[in-house]
């Protein structure tokens, strides 16, 4: 191995491979390697960092580089390992002892040529007994600790790939590669696989605690902006309000009943064609009057925007000519066939982002609509449907984006989709930007987006998985996260079992960063892909739709949310300034309590509230772990408990177990 130093960068070369190791942010080292003639300097979505001096030492058999609390070594045989500044091993590449063969599977870093510059790459690290791993985005797999999981690195409805993890060994790891791939967090190894890329690119961050690592990670990827206070109120939505008058009647009913309502949502297919990005005047004849009336009631309106462009859209031909659409490498340029033959606008193309914003500005923003629901943000591919008629075909290799082939760059799409609206609203002079999106990537948090968990089932099993998925999203620097309260598919408002579920989901939702109701309730139209647009709607989904008992409980939760807004505003400020998520696993606040790492069905909501949702049908009490180092007061009955113990907590249907830390004064009652 040949070593040299260039500025603050350690460079190593052997057998055609070039390696760069350099400081990138506080206590962080960035690794890049390739078989190409040069390293690509692309940062993707990482923020540029100031040049940091590095301590580099080059010896005949190894070279080392140190940045604050982290040090790396490259041995003469090519092995790369990471240590704390005190010499503790953080992370080691995995090679077969003795280099008994040159076969690809025996190397830590593998490259399989796909073209003159693209490779399929594999990167192996050693696995460690007792290590726990958190983050990686949103996977509805029922796991908070991801050790032992195999995760597809691809964006899909309900699956969000944000390849950043936090290890209990004291490091964070960023896989800085938007390629489709796979992460194997297995017992015998950790593997990072990319199906196409020019190089291997990752960062290792050293930190004393999980929250220390998350803070440094958000220094590299961005802090979230402050959201306006009204965004912390209740959001009303369903699939779908068909007309302007139907939407207004729902808003009027909320006000008639004296219920707090911050946002009401106009869902999909309010447009003539996908890609028109405007109201269908037959059903939405006077958007300005609608917005004005809602504003007088103190309600913001959000409008669904899809990235899909139908061949019959008034914008299709122009977008084809100007290269603003995602193309196919071969065959017919059709990648989405829900209620029409479509492709997607190419969000990786800056001119296409400007184009779509100009259409949205002319057809929505001019009426005073400033909130946008960025749906299908993965983007979704194939022919989706409601029920069992999904035919989804994720042929990433057949996609051509402005930035490259789909295998190489697909995972970055939701980042640029959000940026299109962030940039447009900023240029229009807006300061309070709140958009809702179904997918995210490294750094999406800096665009003021609320991420929701996609089209999930209306079951208790789904609710259990959403809690863990939301906590792992928080570990990835995404503080504004939410679900469809009640789930999206198959909920029957008249079914007592669903009524219990939606009560329990509302109790979880009131202690989520964003408090939002949505769902496709029964009964369904006969064929969602073919029915008339007016008929594309589900059953009722307002808080009075689920029976009197449910209404009384849910109504009180709306007022509870209003009471805790000052507390939420304090936590929002901390998320904005420090990158600390509002909703987080217990070990973030109690890193020294070993038991806290075993608890996957409770969470802290800011520093002073412990929330233990009811996640099973028929449950009327549950075991709750109260972390050591604090006293905990039940918000239900006022009982004070010492920390460091498990208790049995009562949970009648109108109660979610919530505990206040050290006599915190937050107005919670049931």
**Active centre residues (catalytic):** 375, 378, 455
Contact 20, 80 (CB under 8 A): no
Structure tokens at 141: 């797999």
Q: What is the rounded distance in angstroms from the CA atom of residue 362 to the CA atom of residue 57?
A: 59
Cα torsion angle, 588, 594, 598, 603, sign: negative
Closest CA to 200 of 35, 74, 76, 90: 35
Structure tokens at 108: 């830590």
Phi, psi of 498 (to 5 degrees): -70, -35
Structure tokens at 57: 């030492």
Secondary structure class of 176 (helix, strand, coil): coil
Cα torsion angle, 365, 340, 315, 178, sign: positive
- Among left, alpha and beta (phi > 0; psi -120 to 50; other), residue 193 is beta
Scan for tokens 């504003």, then name that residue.
295
> CB under 8 Å to 103, separation ≥6 — which residues?
none
Contact 236, 535 (CB under 8 A): no
- Using alpha carbons, list the distances in angstroms from residue 234 to 421, 485, 565: 23, 11, 11
> CB under 8 Å to 187, separation ≥6 — which residues?
127, 147, 148
Q: Which helix (H) or strand (E) holds 516?
A: strand 515-517
Classify burial at 113, counting beta carbons within 10 Å of its beta carbon; exposed 0-12, middle 13-18, buried 19 or more.
exposed
């Amino acid at each position: 191995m040949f070593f040299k130093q260039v500025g603050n960068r350690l460079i190593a070369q052997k057998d055609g491979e070039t390696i760069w190791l350099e400081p990138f942010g506080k206590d962080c080292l960035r690794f890049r390697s390739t078989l190409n003639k040069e390293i690509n300097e692309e940062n993707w979505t990482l923020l540029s960092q100031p040049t940091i001096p590095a301590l580099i030492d080059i010896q005949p058999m190894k070279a080392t580089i140190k940045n604050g609390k982290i040090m790396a070594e490259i041995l003469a045989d090519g092995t790369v390992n990471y240590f704390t500044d005190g010499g503790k091993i953080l992370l080691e590449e995995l090679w077969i002892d003795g280099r008994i063969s040159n076969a690809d599977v025996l190397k830590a870093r593998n490259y399989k040529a796909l073209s003159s510059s693209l490779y399929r790459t594999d990167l192996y690290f050693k696995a460690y007994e007792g290590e726990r791993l958190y983050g990686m985005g949103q996977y509805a797999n029922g796991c908070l600790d991801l050790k032992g999981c195999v995760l597809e690195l691809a964006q899909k409805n309900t699956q969000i790939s944000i390849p950043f993890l936090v290890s209990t060994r004291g490091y964070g790891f960023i896989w800085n590669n938007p390629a489709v791939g796979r992460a194997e967090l297995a017992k015998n190894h950790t593997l990072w696989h990319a199906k196409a890329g020019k190089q291997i690119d990752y960062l290792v961050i050293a930190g004393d605690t999980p929250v220390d690592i998350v803070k440094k990670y958000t220094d590299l990827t961005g802090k979230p902006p402050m959201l306006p206070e009204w965004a912390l109120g209740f959001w009303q939505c369903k699939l779908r309000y068909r007309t302007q008058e139907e939407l207004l009647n729902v808003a009027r009913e909320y006000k008639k009943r004296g219920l707090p309502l911050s946002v009401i949502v106009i869902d999909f297919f309010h447009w003539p064609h996908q890609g028109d990005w405007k109201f269908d005047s037959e059903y939405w004849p006077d958007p300005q009057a609608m917005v004005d009336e809602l504003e007088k009631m103190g309600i913001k309106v959000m409008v669904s925007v899809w990235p899909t462009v139908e061949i019959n859209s008034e914008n299709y031909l122009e977008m084809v000519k100007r290269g603003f659409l995602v193309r196919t490498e071969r065959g017919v340029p059709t990648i989405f066939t829900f209620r029409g033959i479509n492709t997607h606008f190419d969000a990786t193309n800056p001119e296409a982002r400007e184009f779509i914003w100009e259409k949205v500005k002319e057809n929505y923003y001019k009426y005073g609509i400033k909130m946008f629901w960025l749906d299908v943000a993965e983007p979704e591919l194939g022919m989706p449907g409601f029920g069992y008629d999904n035919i989804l075909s994720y042929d990433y290799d057949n996609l051509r984006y402005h930035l490259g082939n789909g295998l190489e760059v697909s995972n970055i799409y939701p980042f640029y989709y959000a940026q299109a609206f962030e940039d447009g609203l900023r240029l229009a002079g807006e300061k309070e930007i709140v958009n809702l999106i179904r997918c995210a990537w490294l750094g999406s948090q800096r665009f003021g987006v609320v991420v929701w968990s996609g089209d999930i089932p209306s079951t208790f099993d789904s609710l259990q998985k959403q809690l863990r998925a939301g906590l792992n999203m928080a570990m990835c620097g995404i503080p504004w996260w939410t679900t469809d309260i009640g789930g999206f598919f198959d909920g029957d408002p008249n079914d007592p079992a669903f009524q219990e579920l939606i009560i329990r989901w509302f109790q979880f939702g009131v202690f989520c960063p964003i408090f939002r109701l949505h769902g496709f309730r029964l009964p369904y139209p006969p064929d969602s892909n073919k029915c008339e647009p007016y008929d594309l709607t589900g059953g009722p989904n307002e808080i009075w739709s689920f029976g009197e008992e449910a209404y009384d409980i849910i109504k009180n939760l709306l007022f509870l949310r209003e009471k805790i807004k000052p507390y939420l505003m304090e936590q929002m400020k901390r998320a904005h300034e420090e990158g600390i998520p509002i909703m987080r696993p217990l070990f973030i606040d109690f890193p020294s309590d070993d038991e806290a790492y075993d608890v996957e069905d409770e969470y802290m909501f800011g520093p002073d509230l412990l929330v233990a949702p009811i996640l099973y049908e028929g449950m009327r009490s549950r075991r709750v772990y109260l972390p050591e180092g604090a006293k905990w007061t039940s918000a239900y009955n006022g009982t004070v408990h010492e920390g460091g113990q498990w208790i049995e907590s009562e949970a009648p249907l109108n109660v979610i177990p919530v505990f206040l830390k050290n006599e915190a004064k937050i107005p919670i009652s049931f």
